[in-house]
Amino acid sequence: MSETGTEQYNFKIVRSFAFSALFWLVIGLIVGLWIAFEMFNPALNLAPWLSFGRLRVVHTNGLGLGFGLAGIFATSYYILQRLTRTALPFPRLAQAHLYLFNTTIALAALSLMAGMNTTKEYAELEWPIDIAVVVFWVMFAINVFATLIKRREKQMYISLWYIIAMTIAIAILYIVNNLEIPVTLFKSYTVYAGANDANVEWWYGHNIVGFIFTVPILAMFYYFLPKSTGLPIFSHRLSIISFWALNFAYLWTGAHHLMLSPLPEWIQTVAIAFSIFLIAPSWGSVINGYYTLQGNWEQLRTNYLVKFFIFGITFYGLQTLQGPLQGLRTLNAFFHFTDWVVGHVHMGTMGWVTMIISASFYYMIPRITGNQLYSIKLANTHFWLILVGQLIWTITMWIAGIQQGAMWKATNPDGSLMYSFLDTLTSLYPYYRLRFAAGVIYFAGILIFVWNLIMTVRQAPQKDEAEQPIQNKELQSWG
């Protein structure tokens, strides 16, 4: 047997990052609910730092960089050590990484509320914080590559490929997009102007979403799905093709965020073509996931984790169809700037991303603490609440988006506009209210999730139950 017990690995860091992720998740969602409320009732703009314009970026950064990255660090440190059968070479560095990470995210949130905002989406942080982000990323990368070089398992399993690609891509994206000239400690100007800035930004924006909300989530999926089901991934060849095609094509598509803008048309057209192409590698992973369960679908009922994975990958599949379609020029002319896109975003984040991270944590935390999960029943409740919350949330926004797009475009027989801007906006308030309610349902599910994991950690350890050696060999033997 390849695994020689818990003491050899550094799982403390996994646990710390997992709970950091949960912390930022709760904070980010509270802010999300706050801004969702502000969108139909501006009374919550109680102070400058609570105004919508400032808080919205706290929501996106808190969840993307706080929750997303912490979840990625937790699972990556776990997966890395397991798949290489090697302890982290620099545990002290990992600990420093943890402290720097959490300090940086806290400062990020505070600085955004103070209005230090470069306005480049998902890169809003000012330059001193950018430097901190780069530093903690390098700390992470050192451990990643040192572990890989020292590894005891010759072949690197699929999940490790995705972790490598993410480590490199995010470094390139983050540094290039954030090149800026400081004015003061709290203010800088980007080095790019106008259309170039837009092009660099959306190359970054699309891919930072790809390399935070897709690539590492696939790493988790490819590792934790076989681990929790005891079933090997359906096709190794399909995962190789999907991996390289995804990484190649993703970087060409940023301009689908700039359709019909003043950006040169050829860049937009290239982006559309590659967006369509992306369906293939994306669905490569979806199919790989479904077929892995071939003949074992009863696990959907018997194994509480499988639900998270299968629904999660299904939402990923829907996302990767919806994305290329809304990137088409004619459809984008209708949907761009509307609530439709907000629906797209949240099916990805509240469906795919949170479901996979939830299941990964449910798998890891009991194993690294040596405790049993506090309550499978609560885990099921958590699942249904976030599923229902997310579905109401996103479907509401899709309908709102269609109505919004149609009202913006509606004209009278004489060719004049049928609705004023405010007519359209106020007709959306009922949807915004429903979205808020759906967010509350989802948030309740997340609170149960957090509670369940806290209680799991608090139980007295039951060592004998700790290591269930589920098919460790399967993953390792893949070349």
Partner 1 sequence: MGITSKPVVFAVLSAAVILIGSTVTVFIPLFMPSTQPVSAYVKPYTSVELEGRDIYMREGCNNCHTQTVRPLRTEVLRYGEYSKPEEFAYDRPFLWGSRRTGPDLNRIGGKYPDSWHYRHMQSPQSMFEKSNMPPYGWLAKNRLDTSNSYKKTSILGYGFSEQDVQVQISQYRSKVTADTYLSKETRDLVTPAELHHELTEMDAIIAYLQKLGRDVKNLETKK
> By the criterion CB under 6 A, which residues form the site for ligand HEC?
52-53, 421-422, 425
Q: Is there binding between residue 39 and partner 1 (CB under 8 A)?
A: yes
In the shown chain, the binding pattern of residues 322 to 341 toward ligand HEM, with x for contact by CB under 6 A and - for none, equals: -xx-xx----x--xx----x
* Span 54-73, contacts to ligand HEM by CB under 6 A: 56, 59-60, 63-64, 67-68
Distance CA 202, CA 453 (A): 36
Supply the minimum distance, in Å, between the C-beta of residue 266 and ligand HEM.
17
Of 119, 462, 468, 477, the one binding partner 1 (CB under 8 A) is 119
Q: Which residues of 438-457 are buried (b: 16+ CB within 10 A; e: fewer)?
A: bbebbbebbebbbebbeebb
Dihedral of the alpha carbons of 381, 382, 383, 384, in degrees to the nearest 10: 50
Verify binding: residue 104, partner 1, rule CB under 8 A: no
417 touches partner 1 by CB under 8 A: yes
For residue 135, how many other CB atoms are within 10 A of its CB?
A: 15
Helix, strand or coil for residue 125?
A: coil
Among residues 162, 173, 166, 167, the alpha carbon closest in space to that of 202 is found at: 173
Q: Does 382 bind ligand HEM (CB under 6 A)?
A: no
| Identity of the residue, 242 or 369, whose beta carbon is nearer to ligand HEM in the bound complex | 242
Q: CA-CA distance, 242 to 108, in Å (whole number)?
A: 35
**With respect to partner 1, which residue has the nearer C-beta, 28 or 254?**
254
Q: If binding is defined by CB under 6 A, does position 207 make contact with ligand HEM?
A: no
Q: How many residues does this entry show for the chain?
A: 479
| Angle made by CA atoms 45, 22, 383, in degrees to the nearest 5 | 100
In angstroms, give the least distance from the CB of 282 to ligand HEM.
5
Distance, first Cα to last Cα, the chain: 18
Whether residue 431 contacts residue 400, with contact meaning beta carbons closer than 8 Å, is answered with yes
| Binding flag, residue 140, ligand HEM (CB under 6 A) | no
Of 129-137, 199-207, 294-302, 379-387, the segment contacting partner 1 by CB under 8 A is: 199-207
Residue 273 lies near partner 1 (rule: CB under 8 A): no
- Among ligand HEC, partner 1, ligand HEM, none, the one that 363 touches (CB under a kind-dependent 5 to 8 A) is none
How many Cα atoms sit within 13 Å of 452 on the Cβ side? Answer: 25
Phi first, then psi, for residue 183 (nearest 5°) are: -100, -50
Residue 199 is a binding residue for ligand HEM (CB under 6 A): no
Pairwise CA distance, residues 257 & 275, whole Å? 11
The phi, psi pair for 46, rounded to 5°, reads -75, -25
Site string for partner 1, 383-412 (x = CB under 8 A): -------------------------xxxx-
**Nearest-angstrom CA–CA distance, 253 and 275:** 6
Closer residue to partner 1 in complex, CB, 110/410: 410
Q: Is 121 in the site for ligand HEM (CB under 6 A)?
A: yes
Pick 245 or 342: Cβ nearer ligand HEM? 342
Q: Which of 65, 45, 46 is nearest to 108 (CA)?
A: 65
- To ligand HEM, the closest distance from the beta carbon of 281 in angstroms equals 8
Q: Are 386 and 358 in contact (CB under 8 A)?
A: yes
Q: Does 209 bind ligand HEM (CB under 6 A)?
A: yes
Q: Give the whole-angstrom CA distance, residue 378 versus residue 381.
A: 5
CA 403 to chain CA centroid, Å, is 28
At closest approach, how far in Å is the CB of 464 from ligand HEM? 36
Here's the x/- map for ligand HEM, 407-426, by CB under 6 A: it reads as: --------------------
Residue 263 touching partner 1 (CB under 8 A): yes
- Cβ proximity to ligand HEM: between 168 and 331 the closer is 331
Shortest Å distance, C-beta 291 to partner 1: 21
What are the φ and ψ backbone dihedral angles of 411, each rounded to 5 degrees? -125, 155
List residues binding ligand HEM (CB under 6 A).
Answer: 29, 32-33, 35-36, 39, 56, 59-60, 63-64, 67-68, 121, 209, 213-214, 253, 256-257, 275, 278, 282, 316, 319-320, 323-324, 326-327, 332, 335-336, 341-342, 344-346, 348-350, 353-354, 439, 442-443
